[in-house]
Chain A
């Protein structure tokens, strides 16, 4: 899809992949709303983007809080116009160090599902109807290989991402004729705070730079019409998969 001048919302945008992706989209001329729970890092990223000549606006909100959803959707559309791209990047691991399911509090599972699954559903519900009436739009879910592989101690996170992946497939099926597309992107392992929280012992030199992954996701957004709606793709290898399919 065309990125220039389009209204974009990125959640979890104050650091890591969300910040890098917001920067990359703004560089392409998108009008970007960055959402995060805290204002400190968020305002820094917004200021960076503006310094580079991009358009960016920061909104402080919690994707896991029901009351925040329509506020975010409304304020974002007021700031940059009707949203054409929403990137559900915010997510939580739950308490770290990660725990086996037998040690997982039910309340912690609920909170992980609220942030990683129910929040994105609510926000998509708040924007996708407008996209469908306009006949265009793209919703990108950021996922993880934990949505497919049953890694011990990754239960709450893994099940939330597996459900999010499937939710995108159902959204795509229901809105197949509407011009609104859904993509699920596995960014691979990146050198982020979240990764360090989950796997503090990991060798950081083996991890991808979020900025490089963000560029790949911008490339995916640009070619979204060529990828089947609802598809789950890997940022590192989607081009190869697309070529093999065609």
Chain B
């Protein structure tokens, strides 16, 4: 348990917004079971969170932070470069990282080094990396030398276990898919007890911010998703009998809607990469309701919420949350639009 997150020690609050009436109710996350109906499907993102942040050094001694941002099909990684500094500094206050042309070698510590194979046209701070090792050698080194991406608003650095949901499996996420952090095993038992079906996707939640306006404006970068056959079946069966699909977190929305977009409008099981942007103009085809953190993800997060509720209702909800002292960050309180 992370001492930095006050809300882990207490019941997390849950702001319930009914998108049709605009009605708001102050609840707790444990009340979620009273908001689902038998036959609804609750979909979580089971991606574990990688230790995606690495202190690196170039051959000529320049220090920088490398944040892994995406795993590519060919074994290379997308990464954002930040200037040296620690978690206490906001990313936007960091010095600029050194420019690293393709071919630059970065050393991260014993047993881990990488080469810059490409520099993005978006920003010189977004690069493609090829690590020198593979398999268990690489993964041991990543876990030995990496740290979870940190948040300057916390009082202490986060350990690896602080950023895992209790149902975390494959380490695909670069920052925690934080809505799931608010769910306990007891809460999930409650959902099942209320007749809901719990299903999972794996979605590679990307970085929330890099401190580089050019990159941040392009977020989310293409993210890998996997929709298992059992989940696709559960979702389709629920929709066929009038049940609702409740996404736990915006990454679940991106996985399900991205997969449906890739399937020509029909949700099909499988894995792929999606760069889908969900905003006010987006009409969700699969997801009916959203459970999400109140974290300050800037425009992207608010834009995504607009696909699920009218602007006025959303603004009223966020004003209410602010007024009532809801904690709005990755480890804070939650909101459900259902």
Contacts and interface: CB of A to CB of B under 8 A. Distances in A.
Do chains A and B stick together as partners?
A: yes
Nearest to A177: B192
A129 B166 contact: yes
A130 B46 contact: yes
Interface residues of B, number: 28
B171 A57 contact: no
Contacts of A82: 46, 169-170
Contact of A57 (B48, B135, B144): B135
Given A59-B140, A60-B140, A133 B46 contact: yes
Contacts of A134: 46, 169, 200, 228, 230
B167 A129 contact: yes
Interface stretch (A73-81, A92-100, A113-121, A189-197): A73-81
Given A79-B135, A129-B165, A73 B140 contact: no
Interface in A15-68: 33, 57-60, 67
B208 to A, nearest CB: 20
Contacts of B198: 133
B168 interface: yes
Contacts of A75: 136, 139-140, 142-143, 171
A67 B165 CA distance: 17
A132 interface: yes
Nearest to A66: B161
Nearest to A46: B136
B172 to A, nearest CB: 9
Given A70-B164, A126-B164, A77 B48 contact: yes
Most buried by A among B135, B168, B169, B170: B169
Classify the secondary structure of A's interface with B. Answer: helix
A78 B166 CA distance: 17
Given A71-B144, A126-B164, A129-B185, A77 B169 contact: yes
B136 A79 contact: yes
Nearest to B71: A78
Given A71-B144, A73-B48, A59 B136 contact: yes
B160 A70 contact: yes
Contact of A78 (B139, B144, B200): B139
Nearest to A175: B185
B35 to A, nearest CB: 20
B29 interface: no
Contacts of A177: 192
A135 interface: yes
B79 to A, nearest CB: 17
B132 to A, nearest CB: 17
Contacts of B144: 71
Contact of A133 (B44, B135, B140, B170): B44
A21 to B, nearest CB: 18
A130 B44 CA distance: 10
Interface in B121-174: 135-136, 139-140, 142-144, 160-161, 164-171
Contact of A130 (B50, B135, B160, B168): B168
A74 B161 CA distance: 11
Interface string A123-150: 0011101101111000000000000000
A4 to B, nearest CB: 17
A67 B198 CA distance: 30
Interface string B302-335: 0000000000000000000000000000000000
Contacts of A70: 48, 160-161, 164
A129 B171 CA distance: 14
A77 B168 CA distance: 10
Interface in B161-203: 161, 164-171, 185, 192, 198-200
Interface string A151-169: 0000000000000000000
Given A70-B161, A74-B50, A75-B136, A133 B143 contact: no
Nearest to A74: B171
B52 to A, nearest CB: 11
Interface in B266-302: none
A79 B139 contact: yes
6 pairs of A and B residues whose beta carbons are closest in the complex: A130-B169, A71-B143, A129-B167, A75-B139, A129-B166, A74-B171
10 contacts: A57-B136, A59-B139, A70-B160, A73-B168, A74-B139, A78-B139, A82-B170, A83-B169, A133-B46, A134-B230
Interface of A: 33, 57-60, 67, 69-71, 73-75, 77-79, 81-83, 125-127, 129-130, 132-135, 177
